[in-house]
Structure 1
Amino acid sequence: MPTLFDSITLGDVSAPNRILMAPLTRGRATREHVPTPLMVDYYRQRASAGLIITEATGISQQGLGWPYAPGLWSDEQVTAWQPVTDAVHAAGGRIFAQLWHMGRQVHSSVTAEQPVSSSATATPGDAHTYEGKKPFETARPLRLDEIPGLLDDYETATRNALAAGFDGVQIHAANGYLIDQFLRDNANFRDDIYGGSVENRTRLLREVTERVISVAGAGRTAVRLSPNGDSQGVDDSNPEGLFVPAAKLLSDLGIAFLELREPGPDGTFGKTDVPKLSPAIRKVFAGPLVLNSDYDSVEKAQAALDSGVADAIAFGRTFLANPDLPERLRSGAALNPSDPATWYSQGPEGYTDYPALETVEA
């Protein structure tokens, strides 16, 4: 069986190890969603990952409601991302951009427009805005004549990602965001070709993936799903009946890899004890399968590889606090704990100031 430290081919990308950096929203871009020089240092520090998947990155102003998160819809954003990808490549790394539309989790105080979704629903709780926490708003359903424009936004963001030097892109279809709002039946009440049956509810996922592949190629296109219970208020009455066919259609499209976020009872964006679907998805997805959530040790991650379900592991918060995570896992060195108070703050504290192993030992 392979180890975490063995190389792996992810579509068109050769990764030196199976320790991926999961997407981690950090809020260090500008208010105009333009990457900053501080982000260059952050990603460079973590270039020893087999593959970095960036923080969720907006495909459009409409779809990006998180304060100070980066985007990929303007020339200014493309230019600002280029030093990031250059730095990662110069350090020997590989990096995919994660493409994000938040759907109903956008707040109008950030985007200046009503949020959109599959149906007229609202996320429970409060949104994170520039003015602090505000109750989520009821979204309006996307009209059929708006879907082509949404697909165009994904295409533009993909072209911009490649122009910025990214090695590929990952479509964010998890965690209760727009595509997940179309997938699951407690958020999708449509009676048109995007609602009702599983085939219809997976239609947007398929169309977005096909459009991205038309630009980047299947070998540089990945997808993230969260085949679990409640995820930020989005859930499904039959997760296996939904996500296994979704994984099969992605397998048929030949994507580079599929990442599954499967949190346990104490996980973020989905505190659930729903049985994990990764074993069932493994049976229908022929490409590399990457598992994520709650992996914080070599033993736990290696067990997932040994089971034959996972081909690689995406580490999230563990990578946040440990820029040299692969070496720490290889050597058995202690891990830095992360500081939740600085996860989404501005500046270098809790971002680029976590010590590397050689600094600690010096």
Structure 2
Amino acid sequence: MPTPQHPLLFSPLKVGDMQLAHRIVMAPLTRSRSPNYIANSHNALYYAQRATAGGLLVSEGTTVDPTANGYPDVPALYTVEHAEGWRLSTDAVHRKGGFIYAQLWHVGRLSQPQFQPNRQLQVSSSATSARRKRAPARALTIPEIKALVEAYANSAKLAVEVAKFDGVEIHAAHGYLIEQFLNDNANLRTDEYGGSIENRARFLFEIVEAILKVVPASKVAIRISPDCNMQGMKDSNPKALYSYVLNKLNNYNLSYIQLTEPVWGMWLPGPPHATSKLNEYRPILKNPHTKVMLTGGYTGEIGEAALKAGRGDFIGLGRDFITNPDIVDRIKYGLPVAQYEKAGDSYYGGSKEGYSDYPTYDEQESAKFLAKL
């Protein structure tokens, strides 16, 4: 076996209740392989293939409410049936000695009526749209906002108590519902959820506090993409907005905060990591209980450099986990990494092809050997 590489990436780390054996995390990846919105045995196989002893996986976005969905065949997590479906995956990961968090998700205005109850308009902070040819969303009423806060808490409770996830990650990034409240180009409200930064952040912190009533802080994380301008997001003063949010998150003793700057879609190939705008926000996070995960185009080399520079505590990888179920070992031992394909039919929806049929390095080498016989 080759000599291990990247000593910081392969050093232990305490994150919340978890003692991680290494610092490479599988970041959330929507794969659209859960018909009827229920996680299934095929999903369990996919996660088990990518699990490692002492390693953390974060699930694909899982919806918290019937209004939360915006895509076909994504899993949900707001009923006991949903949670029991997810239990197949958590059990499979735990059998391999790994950990798994559930990402809690509401897409807001990025949905469409065909995904909504009774084909109603999608909902958001205000009657705005992220697409030129798409009808504006319907602005949530205050009672509906309060109900969604409780929906997040319900999903978190089901995730930990029934599905047996090791924790939950609140998706507050990438232009989805929580960011639609945070950013002032999408939030046009004039009530207690609009206007000032404090008001626009109210929805987020009500969700955090509602979840913390039912799940320990050591099992709660959050994903933030400061000043990323994804999917129609743009704030007039992003530094002030995200400085306020991250400063306040210091108060909660969360498991981790994921800072993400994607490198997919129109954001390819992404910024040089050493000069990323995320580096402006990292010094704000000072709570010793809360670790910092970085995601967005990282490799073993770039991740090791980020840890060495103190920009984060651990690193999330996305697409490399799709084509390399054994990516952790490939990075550790300097083995060739199979390149991911551009987003297409195999990313979102389908069967085992492009999902659970990618070989490990050992399987590839065995196939080459057998082909020569």
TM-score (norm 2): 0.90
Q: How does 1:230-245 map to 2 (within 5 A)?
A: 230-245=229-244
In the alignment, what sits opposite 2:141?
A: 143
Q: Distance in 2 between matches of 1:183 and 1:231?
A: 13
Instruction: Please tell me whether residue 276 in structure 1 is matched to residue 276 in structure 2.
Output: yes
- Secondary structure in structure 1 of the residue aligned to 2:77: coil
Instruction: Give the 3-state SS of the residue equivalent to 1:69 in structure 2.
Output: coil
Aligned with residue 291 of structure 1, among 276, 294, 304: 294
| C-alpha contact 2:174 2:228 (8 A) present in aligned 1 | no
Cα distance in structure 2, aligned partners of 1:165 and 1:123: 35
- 1:345 and 1:317 map into 2 onto residues whose CA distance is 15
How many Å apart are 1:331 and its aligned residue? 0.8
Match of 2:28 in 1: 23
1:179-198 aligned at under 5 Å gives the runs 179-198=178-197
1:173 match: 172
Asked if 1:344 is matched to 2:351, the reply is no
**Residues of 2 paired with 1:87 and 1:222: CA distance?**
22
List gaps (5 residues or longer) in structure 2: 1-5, 367-373
SS in 2 for 1:353: coil
1:330 pairs with 2:348: no
**Structure 1 166/352 Cα, relative in aligned 2: closer, same or farther at 3 Å?**
same
Query: Are 2:31 and 1:8 aligned?
Result: no
CA distance in 2, matches of 1:235, 1:283: 23
User: Which runs of 5 or more structure 1 residues have no equivalent in the other structure?
Assistant: 126-134
**What is the identity, as a one-letter code, of the residue corresponding to 1:240?**
K
| Pick aligned residue for 2:156 from 132, 141, 158 | 158
- Once the two structures are TM-superposed, the CA of residue 199 in structure 1 deviates from its matched residue by 1.1
AA at the equivalent of 1:118: S
Please name the residue that 2:127 is paired with: 120
Equivalent residues of 1:175, 1:269 under 8 A apart:
no
Q: Which residue of 2 aligns with 1:210?
A: 209
Identity of aligned residues (%): 38
Seen in structure 2, the aligned counterparts of structure 1 residues 72 and 302 have a Cα distance that, compared at 3 Å, is: same
Q: Do structure 1's residue 38 and structure 2's residue 73 form an aligned pair?
A: no
TM-score, length of structure 1 as denominator length: 0.92
Q: Matches of 2:43 and 2:266 in 1, distance apart? A: 24
SS in 1 for 2:259: strand
- Match runs of 1:294-313 below 5 Å: 294-295=297-298, 297-313=299-315
Q: Which protein is bigger by CA-based radius of gyration?
A: 2
SS of structure 2 residue aligned to 1:98:
strand
**1:273 Cα offset (Å):** 6.3
C-alpha deviation, 1:72, in angstroms? 0.4
**What SS is found at the alignment partner of 1:232?**
coil
Q: Aligned AA for 1:60?
A: D
Counterpart selection for 1:321 from 320, 323, 336: 323
Measure, in 1, the Cα distance between the counterparts of 2:137 and 2:266.
19
Contact persistence 1:64–1:102 (CA under 8 A): yes
Q: CA deviation at 1:269?
A: 6.9
8 Å Cα contact 2:323/2:338 also seen in 1: yes
In the TM superposition, what is the alpha-carbon distance from 1:229 to its structure 2 partner? 3.2
Q: Is the 8 A contact 1:227 1:276 kept in 2?
A: no
- Secondary structure of 1:188's partner? coil
Q: Report the number of matched residues.
A: 349
Equivalent position SS for 2:187: coil
State the Cα distance separating 1:2 from its structure 2 match: 6.6
Once the 2 structures are TM-superposed, how far is the Cα of residue 309 of structure 1 from its aligned partner?
1.3
Q: Which residue of 1 aligns with 2:358?
A: 354
Determine the structure 2 residue equivalent to 1:56: 61
Q: Distance in 1 between matches of 2:265 and 2:222?
A: 19
Q: CA deviation at 1:218?
A: 0.6
Report the equivalent of 1:80: 85
SS at match of 1:361: helix
Whole-angstrom CA distance in 2 between matches of 1:12 and 1:137? 44
Counterpart in the other structure of 2:73: 68
1:277 CA displacement? 3.6
The answer for the alignment partner of 1:128 in structure 2 is none
